[in-house]
Structure 1
Amino acid sequence: MSGAASILIVWAAASVMMVGGWLYQRRTRNAGIVDALWSTGMAASAVFYAWTGSGAALPRLLVGVMGALWGARLAAYIWHRVLNESEDGRYVALRQRWNDNQTKFLVFFLAQGLLTALFSLPFWIAAHNPVGEWTPWSIVAVLIWAIALVGESVADRQLAAFRADPSNRGKTCRRGLWRYSRHPNYFFEWLHWFAYVALAVGSGAGWVLASLVGPTLMLCTLYWVTGIPYTEAQALRSRGDDYREYQRTTSPLIPWFPREPQNNP
């Protein structure tokens, strides 16, 4: 199956899934399902490319296992929040801004379907790698994936434990990884995509460069589109000055040592 046909199939399937998600949010008024569906779609696309790819068995197996486990973990975490919590504040604000315009929400959901297809490109590239034995690059790919998966899982658990304590309501989490980055979960999400760049080595320089669409698109999305801007706008609405101080002292994405807090006279 050609690359164009494979990616079109993923896009079509993701679009159908997103229409279903849009209908769900119309009934429940919880647009957070879009994130759960996106991660579910990414896991499914990795398995699909592993099954249909023309590369050697090893890179196809690694794409299928790594992509599926990463996507399934993220999907399970988000699904739990969607089914057990009220709508995320980011989407509440978006709903208010759009006056609950369902046409705009439909376009938003369909755009996530397109992003699913675009983000899946590194999976497809790696699944067509003809190198069928372990190489230093394939080992690096697994190490990057493992570090990213563990790091994102730890960050999510630390934040969930912090939020579960009623005494922390209105406060900013500065525990564990959240002491060194305002968005450690996003950082490891971004890091994860470099695994498929490493796994693409052997496919040709052009394909390796093309696989960089994963980390590049993720960085742009997180830093300037739907990630950090919306998350921090909601944090400022709910936590005010406490979060402004957190912004001043803590790295936005890449973990680093925090700056000293200001001493108020």
Structure 2
Amino acid sequence: MNCWQSLGIIWLASALAMAALWAFSMRVKNVGYVDVGWAGLMAVAALFAGIVGEGAPLVRSLVAMFGSVWGARLCLHLLHRVLNEEEDGRYRALREAWNGSPARFFAFFQLQAVVVALFSLPFLAAAANPGYHFNAWLLLAIAVWLVSMAGESLADRQLARFRAEPANRGKTCRDGLWAWSRHPNYFFEWLHWFSYVLLAVGSPLFWFSLAGPVVMFAFLYRVSGIPWTEAQSLRSRGEDYAAYQREVSAFFPWPPRRNP
């Protein structure tokens, strides 16, 4: 099965899954399930790429493991949040802007299916590597994946612990990694995609692997990540978050600036 056939199957399966998730989300009035579905579908796409890829067994196994573990962890983390909290403020604002239009939300869910297919390209590129063997590239890929998983998990735990304290309601988390980056979870999610670039060294589809870190950075920094999240944070936390913006790096971890 070639790359384009695999990509078509991933997109079609994702489109069907997102259609079902859209119907469920409209019924329970919580669009946050779209993020849960995206992460879960990414895990399935990585497994699929590892199974149908035509590359060396070692690299296919690593693609399947890296992508499925990352996606499953993120999916379960987001599911816990959706089940235990009210609908994310970003989606409440979107619902208000769109007057709750089911058709617009259907298009939004289907766009996420396209994004799943787009971010499957690095999986497919790495899984097509025919000559991968135990070398420095593999060790570096494993190291990057471990650091990114540990960093993203730690950032999520620190934020969850902060939000669980009633006294912190309306305040901005500055604990741990959140004192060095306003979005450490996004940073480590972006870092994770370099694992597949390293696994794809020598693959005939190597250039497709760059879609992971390049497109993810664009999405997080300019499209649906930081802009959406910070707009909602300013609405809910006002000057407290504005001060946080002035003092702490937006994305890359960096020592905070202190205002006099």
Q: Which amino acid aligns with 2:207?
A: L
2:60 paired with 1:60: yes
Shift of 1:2: 1.3
For 1:16-39, what per-residue CA distance to the aligned partner results, in whole angstroms no more than 9, with x for missing partners?
111111111111111010000000
Q: What residue in structure 2 maps to residue 120 of structure 1?
A: 120
1:256: which partner in 2? 254
Match of 1:201 in 2: 201
Equivalent positions of 1:173-184 (< 5 A) are 173-184=173-184
Q: Which amino acid aligns with 1:167?
A: A
AA partner of residue 243 (structure 1): Y
Structure 1 regions of 5+ residues with no counterpart? none
Match of 2:229 in 1: 231
Match of 1:130 in 2: 130
Structure 1 equivalent of residue 94 of structure 2: 94
Counterpart in the other structure of 1:31: 31
Shift of 1:208: 2.4
Separation (CA, whole Å) in 1 of partners of 2:208 and 2:78? 29
Q: Distance in 2 between matches of 1:162 and 1:151?
A: 17
1:146 aligned counterpart, secondary structure: helix
SS of corresponding position for 1:152: helix
Aligned to 1:188: 188
Deviation at 1:132, TM superposition (A): 3.6
Match of 1:73 in 2: 73
Give TM-score, length-normalised by structure 1.
0.97
Secondary structure of 2:202's match?
A: coil
Q: Tell me the SS of whatever aligns to 1:134.
A: coil
Amino acid at match of 2:21: G
SS in 2 for 1:256: coil
For residues 110 and 179 of structure 1, the distance between their equivalents in structure 2, rounded to whole angstroms, comes to 36
Alpha-carbon distance, 1:135 to partner: 1.4
What pairs up with 1:95-110 in 2 under 5 angstroms?
A: 95-110=95-110
How far has the Cα of 1:122 moved from its partner?
0.3
Deviations 1:190-243 (A, max 9, x none): 000011000000214xx3222111111101111111110110001001100000
Q: Return the alpha-carbon distance in structure 2 between the equivalents of residues 225 and 100 of structure 1.
A: 21
Q: 1:21–1:68: structure 2 CA closer, same or farther, 3 Å change rule?
A: same
Provide the C-alpha distance between the structure 2 equivalents of 1:127 and 1:156, rounded to a whole number of angstroms.
29
**Counterpart selection for 2:209 from 205, 208, 211:** 211
Counterpart residue number, 2:18: 18
The amino acid that maps onto 1:127 is: A
How many aligned positions are there?
260
C-alpha displacement of 1:68: 0.6
The residue type paired with residue 225 of structure 1 is: V
Task: Report the Cα distance in structure 1 between the residues aligned to 2:91 and 2:200, rounded to whole angstroms.
Answer: 36
Match in the other structure for 2:146: 146
Matched, 1:7 2:7: yes
Aligned residue type for 2:220: L
* Residue identity opposite 1:182 in structure 2: R
1:133-176 deviation per Cα after TM superposition (whole angstroms, max 9, x unaligned):
21111111111011000000000000000000000000000000
Determine the C-alpha separation between the residues in 1 that align with 2:24 and 2:177.
34
Q: Distance in 2 between matches of 1:120 and 1:146?
A: 20
Paired amino acid for 1:248? R
Q: Distance in 1 between matches of 2:83 and 2:161?
A: 18
Post-superposition Cα deviations, 1:61-117, rounded to whole Å, max 9, x if no partner, equal 000111110000000000111112110011011101111011110000000000000
Q: Aligned equivalents of 1:98 and 1:183: distance in 2?
A: 27
Question: How far apart, CA to CA, are the structure 1 residues paired with 2:245 and 2:21?
Answer: 33
Alignment of 1:40 with 2:40, yes or no, is yes
Greater than 6 Å deviation, 4+ residue runs: none
